[in-house]
Amino acid sequence: DGGITQSPKYLFRKEGQNVTLSCEQNLNHDAMYWYRQDPGQGLRLIYYSQIVNDFQKGDIAEGYSVSREKKESFPLTVTSAQKNPTAFYLCATRERLGTDTQYFGPGTRLTVL
Amino acid sequence: EDQVTQSPEALRLQEGESSSLNCSYTVSGLRGLFWYRQDPGKGPEFLFTLYSAGEEKEKERLKATLTKKESFLHITAPKPEDSATYLCAVQERAAGNKLTFGGGTRVLVKP
């Protein structure tokens, strides 16, 4: 079954803790993205990667880190430096250079207690 | 800076009552405009991509149109299963593959 998987679906974290969100895809897509969604606001880009071992900051990268060691995986770490981490996090993929459409995973809801 | 504004923020419709959602945008050079549907607690589902003014795309009861300053998503004779949040996003030519999203329109279709 092809697609994008994000885990866990719900995540709770205490203040001051780092936490890593998983995003895996078996679509053989080249590019992967992380977005954050807050109530009443549009999706905002955190980081993106167009190729393995390379990634770029998006509009709101502060307090987050990523890695892209494998084509299939693009984990996002929310660090203790992120001041307001409670949000819905969405991973997306795009097939290859020259294509435009991004496809989204099911999301992870992170709550900081 | 790219800006995308969607209106209205929320829309309540009776089943069968057609309506339109608006997405107005400000971008230096538009590469593409995207519509997504999002159900509560789920990831956005891709609907359409529009590239040039005058272009139209249709899927079941949904029809998307594009002008130089805005896009409309027309919902014809909606059913309760069309209830969702509809998201609009733009991609600027010079911005690589970055998308800028609007805040969305929440649509509720009552039977």
- Alpha carbons A53 and B104: distance in angstroms, whole number: 33
For residues B13-42, give the mean pLDDT.
Answer: 95
A25 burial (CB, 10 Å; 0-12 / 13-18 / 19+) is: buried
- Interval B89-111 mean pLDDT: 89
Q: Which residues contact B94 (CB under 8 A, 6 or more apart)?
A: B28, B29
Which positions in chain A touch B106 (Cβ < 8 Å)? none
Residues of A with CB under 8 A from a CB of B: 4, 6, 31, 40-45, 48, 50, 58, 90, 94, 100-107, 109
pLDDT computed for residue B44 by the predictor: 97
Q: Cα distance from B59 to chain A (closest Cα, Å)?
A: 17
What pLDDT shows up at residue A88? 97
Task: Please give the DSSP secondary-structure letter assigned to residue A70.
Answer: B
Confidence of residue A38 (pLDDT cuts 50, 70, 90): very high
pLDDT band with cut points at 50, 70 and 90 for residue A2: low
Residue A107 has its nearest CB partner, among B43, B87, B103, at B43
Q: Does B100 touch chain A (CB under 8 A)?
A: yes
- Give the residue, B49 or A1, on which the prediction is more confident: B49
To which H or E segment does residue B31 belong?
A: strand B30-38
Q: In this structure, how many other beta carbons lie within 10 angstroms of the beta carbon of residue B111?
A: 7
Q: Does B91 touch chain A (CB under 8 A)?
A: yes
Closest by alpha carbon to A38, among A107, A113, A103?
Answer: A107
Q: Does B93 touch chain A (CB under 8 A)?
A: no
Q: Under an 8 A CB cutoff, do B103 and A45 touch?
A: no
Closest residue, chain B, to A43 (C-alpha): B101
Compute the C-alpha angle A97/A75/A2, nearest 5°: 60
Q: Residue A53 — pLDDT band, cuts 50, 70, 90? A: very high
